[in-house]
Amino acid sequence: MKTLFRNKQYLFLICAQIVSSLGDWLNILALLILAGVDFHASPLGITLLMLCFSIPMTLFGPFTGVFADRYDRKKLMVAADLIRAAAVFGIVFAPALWTVYILVFLQSSFSALFTPAKNGKLKEIIPDDQMQQAVTISAMIDQVSKIIGPVLSGLLISAFSTKASFYIDAATFILSAIFLSQLTISVPKRISENHSKKKNRIFHDMMDGFSFIRSIPILLLGLCVLSSVLLVLQIADNQIIILLREVPHSPVKIFGYAMAASGAGMFIMSIILAKKEIKSAHAFISIGSVGIGAGYALMVYLVHQPVNIIMACLPLLGMLVGMSAAAVFIPFNVMAQKTTPVNLSGRIFGTINSMTSGAAIIGMVLGGILVELFGADTTFLLSGSFLIIIGIAAILSTVFLKGSDMFAKGNQGSQKKAQG
């Protein structure tokens, strides 16, 4: 890990992530308060706000992945940060809720450009033998931000107003752009050549990402499992406050404890994975799915217990779910980074982000429908049961793909295929 931190390019990239990730979590709580309190948004209005975060990644992921491979990733990331800063700053002066929707959609659209460009840049500057550590450090930063950001946002809003959080979030994007401006400019040779030859073949290039994923059985299976997990997870995850409303005392406080414990669990698993070699990403993904499912199913039983038992046990379940979620997401990201050729990384991660975001959106919608039809208890039991089934099915599927997991050694053959 010491060698990793001697890499100045990586340090600039990780510093940019620290400030922008913290700003993102400051922004989310402030947006919910702005929409719910200042603009008196209905439950549907809040749902639309969350969809404005998610839909751009699904719609634009494959397209932005092509741009991340065709053009200089440093310039794309800097431009995306500056435009996102302007969008967040504009929210302060939004006269109506529909204006907030437009600005959030704009911000998320450029996040859809930033993400594949960042993943491609990470692939450029980090060798494969350090990739697992780099990905787990990135996950740890996200989880610490998830814990600290809402707390800081709450303090800022209490001491000043929601505007303070937006000002700071805009400033973090500008600071991130400053860090990213220190990165070297490097465009993969193959992409530079393609740019002059394939200006009118953006749809052909867009399909390259999916074609590559489809050619690697373990990567395709991992993406299918990950998307399935996200879909079923979101059915329950966005409805957890509805489940906790059944607790007679302090449901909001208990919800806060559960979220903090989940973030802590993901952080702990990130530390473990940073030190432990992941020999089979697929095994981690499968076990993680079972762990999340078990946690959700047990929550249904727990919320009907006395409050003191809930207060003692729910954080433990939240930590189990958090650790299991990290066991799903981090190994998959490491596997994807290691098996992805640098000149296709934007398109591949654009496709991955599009599929996972689409699955999450479907899960959010299904969750609302199922809770309305059957109640929170049944919805959580269904979600937990399906996650366990997905995990078991994924474990059994490894029998048919034995020997095709290129996680440990990389995929030299596929890299030659992509470059040929």
C-alpha–C-alpha distance, residues 326 and 97, integer Å:
34
pLDDT the model gives residue 189: 47
Mean pLDDT taken over the chain: 78
Top-confidence residue, 208 or 196 = 208
Amino acid at residue number 193: E
What is the domain-level CATH number for residue 397?
A: 1.20.1250.20
The reply to whether the predicted model has a pTM over 0.75 is no
Look at the chain and report how many structural domains it folds into. Answer: 2
If asked whether residues 100 and 147 sit together in one domain, one would say yes
Name the DSSP letter for residue 184. P
If asked whether residues 41 and 135 sit together in one domain, one would say yes
> Is the pLDDT confidence value at 6 over 50?
yes
C-alpha–C-alpha distance, residues 360 and 355, integer Å:
9
Amino acid at residue number 105: F
From 336, 341, 347, 335, select the one nearest 61 (Cα to Cα): 347
If asked whether residues 226 and 354 sit together in one domain, one would say yes
If asked whether residues 203 and 181 sit together in one domain, one would say no
* Sequence-ordered alpha helix ranges (H) in 126-188: 131-159, 162-180
pLDDT the model gives residue 412: 43
Residues 119, 346 contacting (CB under 8 angstroms): yes
Q: What's the pLDDT band for 85 if we cut at 50, 70, 90?
A: very high
pLDDT the model gives residue 290: 92
Q: What's the pLDDT band for 194 if we cut at 50, 70, 90?
A: very low
If asked whether residues 45 and 132 sit together in one domain, one would say yes
C-alpha–C-alpha distance, residues 315 and 320, integer Å:
9
Name the DSSP letter for residue 35. I
Task: Answer yes or no: is 331 within a domain.
Answer: yes
> Is the pLDDT confidence value at 203 over 70?
no
Largest CA distance in the chain: 68
If asked whether residues 296 and 176 sit together in one domain, one would say no
**Domain span including residue 390:** 198-415
If asked whether residues 270 and 405 sit together in one domain, one would say yes
Top-confidence residue, 256 or 375 = 375
C-alpha–C-alpha distance, residues 243 and 289, integer Å:
21
pLDDT the model gives residue 17: 81
Domain end marker among 185, 212, 235? 185
C-alpha–C-alpha distance, residues 174 and 170, integer Å:
7
Domain end marker among 164, 185, 206? 185
C-alpha distance across the termini of the chain, in Å? 34
Percent pLDDT > 70 in the chain is: 82
Tell me the pLDDT tens digit for each residue of 140-187: 777 677 667 666 766 776 677 778 888 888 898 999 999 988 887 655
Q: What's the pLDDT band for 385 if we cut at 50, 70, 90?
A: very high
Domain end marker among 185, 219, 252? 185
Task: Answer yes or no: is 340 within a domain.
Answer: yes
* Sequence-ordered alpha helix ranges (H) in 160-239: 162-180, 189-197, 202-215, 217-237
pLDDT the model gives residue 52: 85
Name the DSSP letter for residue 410. -
